Amino acid sequence: MEFTPVLHAEWIKIRTLRSLLGSLAAVLLVTTAFSALAVADADGSDPLYSVFFGVSLGQIAAIAFGTTAVSAEFRGGALRLTLSAAPDRLRWFAAKAAAIALPVLAVGLLTGLATLLVGKSVLGASGPAWGEGLRGAVGCALQLTLMALFAAGLAAVLRSGVATLSVLIPFLLIVSFVIGDLSGGVADFLPDRAGQVALHSTWDGALGPWTGLAVTALWSVAALLAGAWSLRRRDA
């Protein structure tokens, strides 16, 4: 089967599962809500990060989306049925990754713009400049998309949504809220931290806005390659 019909089939799965649609809605709502709360209590030290503070929590919803989209295939023999229609496992997994990335990217862009508008309306003249704010909105969308793909790759390795979320959510919460205030160290190169450099007006670490996103992209590619390897080596 060609790639396009496989992608179409995967998109049908995503848009017909309420849990996945709920995760996409949560990306928008959680990010915007927590960003609005952060802006209302901003101290003015980094207005851009205050505007996009909610991304650190919204990415948990993006992770849940990527995890659920893949782990659903390992319940009730669904993967065997899928591979009977699309026997090329790598092509199917590429279509699955694309079907995950595209809606998260679209929702991420909408989330970034909505969050920017809310932040600008609250902060007014003390808020970030439009150019910087648009960079943050794009960074928001890319970070959410990359984290969803990172979770999708790990879910393909672990073959369990519960196991994947049990690893990733505590990891994100510990890194973001315990180690996260330390810049210039190993923590800056972890996937959730590196991509968020694009959401800061200034950063003292070794990474810049785009190099930070590149580091997160490398984590996501590594997870997807591990997931593809697992799919090829293990039985459905």
Residues 6-49 have pLDDT tens digits of 899 899 999 998 999 999 999 999 999 999 888 877 776 788 98
Number of C-beta neighbours around residue 232 at 10 A: 10
Mean pLDDT, range 201-205, rounded to an integer: 78
Cα dihedral 155, 159, 161, 166, rounded to 10, equals -80
Vertex 165 angle, CA 27 and 175, to 5°: 80
pLDDT of residue 164: 95
| Cβ-based burial of 47 (10 A; exposed 0-12, middle 13-18, buried ≥19) | buried
Q: What global pTM score does this model have?
A: 0.92
> pLDDT above 70 covers what percent of the chain?
93
pLDDT tens readout for residues 112-163? 999 999 988 888 777 788 889 999 999 999 999 999 999 999 999 999 999 9
Can you give the C-alpha Rg of the chain in angstroms? 18
